[in-house]
Structure 1
């Protein structure tokens, strides 16, 4: 997924920058940026899952973040290239899924990691 995002970022920086107006180019860059940061988060989640291999909440959070990122970015790419404003209505669904995933992760870390307070 990261390789695809890098390709899309390069495509946006070179191929479509002269085709898209500023409004759609900004939307395109938003899709690339959010995807990049959420993929990095999923890499971090992979390492956290090593610390908490039996945590179902970690796996659930990864699914929410992954699906949310796909829905969010795909709806923005579709909006940019199809120029159908109605597609922008799907974007908040992806955003909500990402937010839910990050909250589940935060909850899982608090509940399952059992961090000791600093004395």
Structure 2
């Protein structure tokens, strides 16, 4: 395995596993005390985390196929963005502190940056050349 694909794949797998666990936690443990709006917020966090976990697994798989692409930067942005975005929403729900929602857009910006950076890298890539 190419060494730069390994952390991407491990990060994606960890995010996915944690996302499933947090999804189950939200569906079962939070139902009794969280408001419907807070449960929706929790599910948004889980959804974005799982989407970005799958994205990291895909980026890692692409990285395995070629050493021409430099995908650690985009992968980092996607991963850290997911942690900040979803993490701040989880904290908002668990701690019931709406101010924590102010951090969420920073995670979203990191995710957007990761997707844009990935797009540029893929656009520049010339396979088999």
TM-score (structure 2 length as normaliser): 0.83
Deviations 1:69-111 (A, max 9, x none): 0000110011111111111000000000001001111110110
1:93 aligns with 2:101: no
- Given the alignment, which residue of 67, 76, 79 partners 2:80? 67
1:41 aligns with 2:34: no
Give the corresponding residue for 1:82.
Answer: 95
Runs of 4+ in 1 over 3 A off after TM superposition: none
Q: CA RMSD in A?
A: 1.4
**Per-residue deviation, 1:52:** 2.6
1:17 aligns with 2:31: yes
How far apart are the structure 2 equivalents of 1:51 and 1:5? 27
How far apart are the structure 2 equivalents of 1:11 and 1:85? 20
**Per-residue deviation, 1:29:** 0.3
Structure 2 unaligned blocks of 5 or more: 1-13
How far apart are the structure 2 equivalents of 1:41 and 1:97? 14
Give the corresponding residue for 1:28.
Answer: 42
**Per-residue deviation, 1:51:** 2.3
